[in-house]
């Protein structure tokens, strides 16, 4: 919720309209000088990312103002084969999740636009320009393209790979590594007893990662200037690693050891001033309630499998790549 204003491009002398400032919704004046809105954005492969919802607001505005939307498709940086997590409940729709899709959706931004436009009935005049050479098994490094950070706290593909799970920490008083050089790969808090946490997590046999104990000091955001015992996530097997379930194991463990110090972050969060941020991020308050009750993560995961399978069947209709 750090906003930016409209501006004038200094080279082209054209207006630049901010959709993360005075408004998140484009108005008629913003569309008045164009025939087609071209969307050229790098998504992260995670439901909690506002770029794609700004895109949907633009798609809806394009209908009102009689304009066309063209998406220049980009790779899903964490591949298009795996999906993970519960689908968002409609009553928990927000700027970090407008539609009932899972946390890790396995789609490109062009495929998401097709899904939103068709299955969720936006129905704008939409054209997606597909990529050449990409397939669903590819991670970003496989493309041979340079990684350009879509936002400051996703500086590497590794930070993007852990993001579908680590983003949950934004709804807590655990630092997700903002204010360090390795956001989302690092996490911790002054009250964490890393030995206890690591011993408990060892029994969970978390696949595809190593948790390396560290101590870091954020220069901004949560726990600024305080030493935070915690961990760095090292991914050893991207195919086995399940970022969302991994962080649920971590949160359950922290709640079991540090209940007096651990806190859920209070509102506001991304322009929502009443609901708890963690419920907006997960899209379902039953996830938080299950963690508070120390419910087994395997039970939580089983509870969303039917919805996830339905999503997988529906989303395949909008695939552009094999």
> Which domain does 82 fall in, by range?
34-316
Complete DSSP assignment for 169-212: GGGBSSB-STTSSSTTTEEE-TT--HHHHHHHHHTTT-TTEEEE
Cα separation, 229 vs 224, in Å, equals 13
Bridge partner residues of 126 (DSSP)? 69
For position 2, what pLDDT does the model report? 85
Predicted local distance difference test score (pLDDT) of residue 252: 97
Asked whether residue 16 is assigned to any structural domain, the reply reads no
Name 195's Cβ contacts closer than 8 Å, sequence gap at least 6.
Answer: 213
Q: Which of 149, 110, 108, 102 is nearest to 126 (CA)?
A: 110
Q: Which pTM does this prediction carry?
A: 0.96
Over its length of 322 residues, how does the chain's per-residue pLDDT go in tens digits?
889 999 999 999 999 999 999 999 999 999 998 999 999 999 999 999 999 999 999 999 999 999 999 999 999 999 999 999 999 999 999 999 999 999 999 999 999 999 999 999 999 999 999 999 999 999 999 999 999 999 999 999 999 999 999 999 999 999 999 999 999 999 999 999 999 999 989 888 899 999 999 999 999 999 999 999 999 999 999 999 999 999 999 999 999 999 899 999 999 999 999 999 999 999 999 999 999 999 999 999 999 999 999 999 999 999 999 9
C-alpha of 214 from chain center: 25
Confidence at residue 259, expressed as pLDDT on a 0 to 100 scale: 87
For residue 60, give the nearest of 51, 50, 69 by alpha carbon. Answer: 69
Residue 1 forms part of a structural domain? no
Look at residue 203 in the predicted model and tell me its pLDDT.
84
The reported pLDDT for the residue numbered 233 is: 98
Q: What is the CATH number of the domain that holds 253?
A: 3.90.1150.140
Q: How far apart are CA 50 and CA 21, in angstroms?
A: 13
CA distance 255 to 114: 40
Distance CA 3, CA 61 (A): 21
Is residue 15 assigned to a domain? Answer: no
- Tokens 């633009």 map to which residue? 58
Q: Which residues pair with 264 in a beta bridge?
A: 172
Backbone angles phi, psi at 113, to 5 degrees: -60, -40
- 321 in any annotated domain: no
Asked whether residue 220 is assigned to any structural domain, the reply reads yes
Element (H, E) at 145: none
Q: Bin 288: left if φ > 0, else alpha if -120 < ψ < 50, else beta.
A: alpha
Give which of 222, 226, 238, 232 is closest to 142, Cα–Cα.
Answer: 238
Helix, strand, coil tally for the chain in percent (to 5):
35, 15, 50
Q: Does residue 28 lie in a domain region?
A: no
Residue 68 domain-assigned?
Answer: yes
CA 322 – CA 309 distance, rounded (Å): 18
- CA-based torsion, 239, 244, 246, 249: positive or negative: negative
Structural domains in the chain (count)? 1
Residue 3 lies in a domain: no
């Amino acid at each position: 919720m750090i906003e930016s204003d409209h501006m004038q491009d200094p080279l082209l002398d054209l207006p630049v309209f901010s959709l993360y400032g005075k408004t998140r919704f484009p108005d008629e004046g913003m569309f008045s000088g164009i025939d087609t809105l071209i969307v050229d954005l790098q998504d992260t492969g995670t439901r909690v990312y506002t770029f794609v919802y700004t895109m949907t607001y633009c798609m809806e505005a394009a209908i009102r103002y009689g304009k066309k939307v063209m998406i220049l498709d980009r790779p899903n940086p964490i591949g298009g084969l795996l999906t993970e997590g519960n689908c968002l409940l409609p009553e928990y729709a927000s700027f970090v999740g407008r539609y009932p899709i899972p946390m890790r959706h396995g789609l490109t931004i062009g495929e998401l636009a097709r899904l939103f436009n068709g299955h969720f009935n936006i129905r704008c005049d939409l054209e997606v320009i597909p990529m050449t050479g990409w397939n669903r098994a590819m991670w970003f490094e496989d493309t041979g393209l340079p990684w350009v950070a879509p936002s400051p706290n996703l500086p590497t593909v590794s930070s993007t790979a852990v993001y579908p799970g680590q983003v949950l920490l934004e709804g807590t008083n655990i630092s997700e590594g903002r204010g360090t050089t390795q956001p989302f790969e690092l996490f911790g808090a002054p009250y964490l007893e890393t030995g206890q946490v690591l011993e408990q997590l060892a029994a969970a046999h978390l696949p595809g990662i190593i948790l390396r104990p560290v101590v870091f000091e954020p220069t901004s955001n949560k726990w600024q200037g305080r030493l935070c015992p915690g961990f760095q996530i090292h991914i050893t097997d991207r195919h086995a690693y399940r970022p969302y379930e991994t962080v649920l194991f971590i949160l359950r463990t922290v709640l079991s050891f540090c209940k007096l110090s651990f806190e859920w972050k209070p509102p506001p969060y991304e322009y929502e001033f009443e609901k708890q941020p963690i419920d907006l991020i997960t899209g379902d308050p039953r996830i938080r309630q299950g963690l508070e009750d120390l419910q087994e993560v395997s039970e939580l995961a089983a509870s969303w499998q039917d919805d996830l399978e339905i999503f997988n069947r529906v989303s395949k209709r909008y695939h552009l790549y094999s």
